[in-house]
Amino acid sequence: MLGEDAVRIALTEGAEEAEAFQVRGRTISISVEKGAIKTASSIRFTGLGVRVSLGNKLGFAYASNPREGKDVGEEALKNAKAAPPDPDFKGLPEPRPVTLMEGLLDPKIKNLSVEEASSLLMSAIESSRVSPKVVSVNGRLEASYYEIEIYSSKGTDVREERTSFSVFLEVASKDGDRRGSSLDFADGRYLGHLKPEELGRNAGNMAIKVLDSTTIGVEELPVILEPKAQVNIIPFLVDSAANAENIQYGRSFLSDKLGKEIADNRISIVDDGRIPWATGSSSFDDEGIPTRKTCVIERGTFRSPIYNWYTAMKEGKESTGNAVRGYNKLPMVGAHTVSIEAPDLKMSRGDLLDVKRGILVSFTFDTPNLANGEFSGLAETAFLVENGEITKSLRQTNMAFTLMDMLKSIDGIGDDIITVQSLRGGSIRFKAKVAGPG
Amino acid sequence: MSKQQRKQPLRQIITVKIALLIKTPMELEKAISLALDEGVDFVEVREEKSLHTVIRVVDGVVREFSSGNEYRISVRSLFEGGWGFGVASSLEDLEKAVKDSVKLAKLSSKWPERVEPEWPSFAGKFETKSKKPPWEIGPEEKLNLIKEQDDQARRYERVRNRNVLYLDSLRDVRIMNSLGTSMSQRISRVRMSAQIYAYESGITESAFESKAGAGGLEILEGLNLGEEAARRAIEALAAKPSPPGKFPSILDPRLAGVFIHEAFGHAAEGDSVLSDQSILTGKIGQSVGSDMVSVVDDPTWEGLYGSYRYDDEGSEAKKKYIVKDGVLTSFMTSLESAYRLKTRLTGNARSMSYDHPPLVRMSNTYIDRGDWTFEEMLSEIKEGIYAIGAVYGYTDPAKGQFMFKAEGGWLIKDGELKERLREVAIAGMTLEILHNVDAVGKDLEMDPGTCGKHGQFVPVTTGSPHIRVKELVFGGR
């Protein structure tokens, strides 16, 4: 109703087109400090964002918890009047037929109580105490149920209920003067996929393993990135580098590479918005356009960017259903779930680790440089691999490579496949320059 | 709001909206009484209204012209050491938010350590000074300021893409608690940034410049963000990858500011210390660095992006030395962390917005000035790296490891800047790094930024003079 009111008032007062994006829901958050629940919260929220156009002038306004849609519609119209024209703005999205998909709404999350959420998090926390050397465990769990509704004067009228959860653990360890720490995280739309004990045990074991550490100097080594170390690297190839806006404006290192070979021809990279229970999945994107699977790199060749409505119209193409936004933002372009498809490179984790000398990276939080496609970052949680065995953890170790070199030199993809954040995939192995203090 | 009010000029509309916020202390007092009747040890009510403007211009075209407003009241209750947090979207559902917060606090109260709310209370009112309050200024003047920056970059032939972003926000907060705190604060912040991409012969590089502060549009006048970002992006086109490994380094003020924020600031946040997630736990009074290093966190510095008078628990903000002459002197604290660490309250509890409980956060954090000049530092390096500009950084305070990313750099040979270098990651260990600082410059500069922790992002300033570090590990190729 709020959205429809906003659209109606904007049109009555002179707008040519109007669109309302509304989100309404509830989030439960539990945070644990030193092994016990410290803060619990339960928040209901409503947000409304309205786009209004006057010819090729676009205005946007939003409000949290508006009592009525009217003010937001009027404010958006006021902004459209004040905005200078944008020659590339060809109007708000035309509706497209949407097929609703399964695997987005978990009734267990929808009806979750704070007590149930707490007990899930506590079971992860308890499981992380794998040794007396674990000195402190902190953690957070968030579970949300929400409904997205998009309504426009062009005829878009879609709504969908979705759920999501995320868990994050931090474990600190101590052995005499040696200090260590680790973390682990998981997310998704279906709570049954969360294995709290396993998550806790992994984080605990890792925090103990990192106590025994060493440093290395400068070497060119096989680097094995576990899936959770890839979350800011592999999805980046699609989300940022193959993002139509970045391509069109010439910001991306892939800007002039469409149709060219940019990866080993055994490698394809796809973005899929319709994987059941993946955090990045939905039946329609944030402009109401149906989601789909887009092949971004096909057998080594850069085949297609991902588009929202604006960037697609600019090139006279169809949106790939990759509009992403919050109620308080205009739609941008973003990936759903990105995976590497390379059956020829598939191998067991054991085979992947079977190198004379290399490093195994469990986590890094660095992102590549969009303009030049180079990655330089800290191997935040990493281990030395010697003769196929994981030996010691590494301190202060950086790694550097270009994304194009990485895509051409990946020589193995593990069968340890998981779905986390915008990534679905197993560990990958390639060569990179590794630099530590020696 | 009635139709008549809506038709008034913009300035008066805002006044009406703000009046909604400050007319309600009685309702907040009732909420406090209600929570106390339910038996909690402490309760705090935070009413918050904020207004935002975003204008984004790409290659001279306005791609985004938006405005927003947000309003909520949050209630935080403490019961036997555990906190509960509820949020009301209007005064009508405040009672429900109070009950939620009490119930949730009781659920959290299995926490083993009791927290006695033996805290001071604060009363007062604060408003940032703005010569040109953004909400009193029409879109034309804002668009002109943006155009000025865009034009500066447009003049350069090799510039391929120009992005200028303008943001302003007005945040009105009233906080009352069961100990008698009753304060209100209005902070206006403005920010402008330029991200410029340059291109030549198949190579693309970018550079970023921003200016921000607490105050009005006067902060954004006479800037050269477009010019400076364009110049550096073009300069980077000829850059080579940084060499990998250990090098003596000079960090420019902007990078050194991010360095001190990541390397040290986070580890000195009281909540990290308490949760055994900081390598600085138990180290107050000990030497943590060279005696030429002093580190300050000062929310009271007028006009900076991370400035405020009262924090988001209503406590008065304090300037403090975290490190004085190389010795760890203070942690940053909130009400609870000050109590549990048995140390002074520094007013560092900050929240991103109404739907987040406050955490211990930095404000304007900087390395205090020393007495070196840049030329003196440079002349003594035989082979090293001068790293410039900051992209981002992060830290793992429990392990004591951090990284920060330089936008670029220069290779130093025999005391001279020889070759321009590309973006590079730099790693270090918190407890070693400040001992390795062997020169601190005179040229303190402050730079605005945004800091994220546990999913909450708040405006901060990082600052430093040029500093020289005996060795840092560069992630080059």
Average pLDDT over residues A366-377: 96
Query: In terms of domains, do A126 and A236 share one?
Result: no
Whether residue A218 and residue B197 make contact (CB cut-off 8 A), yes or no, is no
Rounded to 5°, the CA angle B209-B205-B159 comes to: 75
Contacts of B82 in chain A (CB under 8 A): 37-40
Give the CATH architecture of domain B3-236.
2-Layer Sandwich (3.30)
* Interchain contact, B244 vs A218, CB within 8 Å: yes
Cβ-based neighbours of B123, under 8 Å, separated by 6 or more: B180, B181, B182, B183
A176 and A228 both lie in a single domain? no
Which residue does chain A place closest to B55, by CA atoms? A83
> Are B354 and B72 in contact, with CB atoms under 8 Å apart?
yes
Burial class (CB in 10 A: 0-12, 13-18, 19+), A316: exposed
Say whether both A111 and A24 belong to one domain. Answer: yes
Phi-psi region for residue B374, left (φ > 0), alpha (ψ -120 to 50) or beta? alpha
A222 and A185 in a single domain? The answer is: no
ipTM comes to 0.94
- Beta strands A337-341 and A268-272 are antiparallel
For residue B387, the chain A residues in CB contact (below 8 A) are: none
pLDDT in tens, A262-295: 999 999 999 999 999 999 999 999 999 999 999 9
Of A38, A179, A401, nearest to B108 by CB-CB distance is A38
Residues of A in contact with B58 (CB under 8 A): 249
Lowest mean pLDDT among A224-238, A411-425, B229-243, B394-408: B394-408
Question: In this complex, which of A80, A377, A438 lies closest to B246 when CB atoms are compared?
Answer: A438
Which residues in chain B touch residue A122, judged by CB atoms under 8 angstroms apart? none
Q: Copy the structure tokens of residue B77.
A: 């209750």
Number of domains making up chain A: 2
Residues A230 and A370 in one domain: yes
Contact A41 B199 (CB under 8 A): no
Check A398 against B427: CB less than 8 A apart.
yes
**Domain end call among A177, A193, A209:** A209
Query: Are A254 and A340 contained in the same domain?
Result: yes
Q: How confident is the model at residue B198 (pLDDT cuts 50, 70, 90)?
A: very high
Mean pLDDT of chain A: 96
Distance from CA of B301 to the nearest CA of A (A): 31
**Quick one: closest CA in A to B3, which residue?**
A71
The residue in chain A having the minimum alpha-carbon distance to the alpha carbon of residue B71 is A64
Q: Is the pLDDT of residue B206 over 90?
A: yes
Q: What is the structure's pLDDT at B430?
A: 83
Residue A34: pLDDT over 60:
yes
Q: Measured between CA atoms, how close is A311 to chain B, in angstroms?
A: 12
Nearest to A86 among B61, B87, B424 (CB): B61
| Domain CATH for A114 | 3.30.2290.10
CB A172 within 8 A of CB A181: yes
Which residue is closest to B89 within chain A, CA to CA? A65
- Cα–Cα–Cα angle for A170, A176, A180, rounded to 5 degrees: 25
Q: Distance (Å, rounded) from C-alpha A135 to C-alpha A150?
A: 48
Closest residue on chain A to B60 (Cα): A86
Over 70: is that where the pLDDT of B11 sits? Answer: no
**pLDDT value of position B21:** 57
Q: Which domain holds residue A142?
A: 2-209
| Boundary of a domain, candidates A209, A231, A257 | A209
Provide mean pLDDT across the span B216-236.
97
pLDDT of residue B16: 36
* A221 shares a domain with A159: no
Question: What HEC string does A81-120 produce?
Answer: HHCCCCCCCCCCCCCCCCCCCCCCCCHHHHCCCHHHHHHH
CB A382, CB A362: distance < 8 Å = yes
Specify the domain boundaries for CATH 3.30.2290.10 within chain B.
3-236
What band does A224 get if pLDDT is binned at 50, 70 and 90?
Answer: very high
Shared-domain flag, residues A192 and A290: no
Please give the backbone phi and psi of residue A89, each rounded to the nearest 5 degrees, phi first. -80, 115
Residues A121 and A188 reside in one and the same domain = yes
Q: Is the pLDDT of residue B12 over 50?
A: no
Output the pLDDT for position B278.
Answer: 84
Whether B425 sits inside 8 A of A400 (CB atoms) is yes
Q: What is the pLDDT of residue B7?
A: 34
Which tops the pLDDT comparison, B92 or B406? B406
Residues A167 and A136 in one domain: yes
Cβ-Cβ contacts under 8 Å between A and B: the total is 248
**B168–chain A nearest CA distance, Å:** 14
Helix (H, G, I), strand (E, B) or coil at A31: strand
What's the pLDDT at B394? 86
Contact between residue A181 and residue A61 where contact means Cβ atoms under 8 Å apart: no
Reported as a single tens digit per residue, the pLDDT across B143-175 is 999 999 999 999 999 999 999 999 999 999 999
Residue A268, pLDDT score? 98
Exposure string for B269-300, b = 16+ CB within 10 A, e = fewer: bbbbbbbbbbbbbebbeeebbbebbbbbbbbe
Per-residue pLDDT tens digits for A43-94: 999 999 999 999 999 999 999 988 888 999 999 999 999 999 999 999 999 9
Residue B134 has pLDDT above 60, yes or no: yes
Torsion-angle region of A184 (φ positive above 0: left; ψ -120 to 50: alpha; else: beta):
beta
Q: Which residues of B touch A436 (CB under 8 A)?
A: 473
Q: Which residues of A touch B241 (CB under 8 A)?
A: 374, 400
> What is the pLDDT at residue B24?
64
CB contact under 8 A, A396 and B427: yes
Distance (Å, rounded) from C-alpha B53 to C-alpha B474? 39
- Contact between chains at B66 and A60 (C-beta distance less than 8 A): yes
CA distance A321 to chain B (A): 20
- In terms of domains, do A202 and A276 share one? no
- Kindly report the CA angle at B277 between B292 and A171, in degrees rounded to 5? 145
User: Where is the domain boundary, A184, A209, A234?
Assistant: A209
Cβ partners under 8 Å of residue B125, min gap 6: B183, B184, B185
Reduced to 3 states, what is the DSSP secondary structure of residue B3?
A: helix
Residues A189 and A76 in one domain: yes
Mean pLDDT of chain B: 91
Q: Write down the pLDDT at residue B96.
A: 92
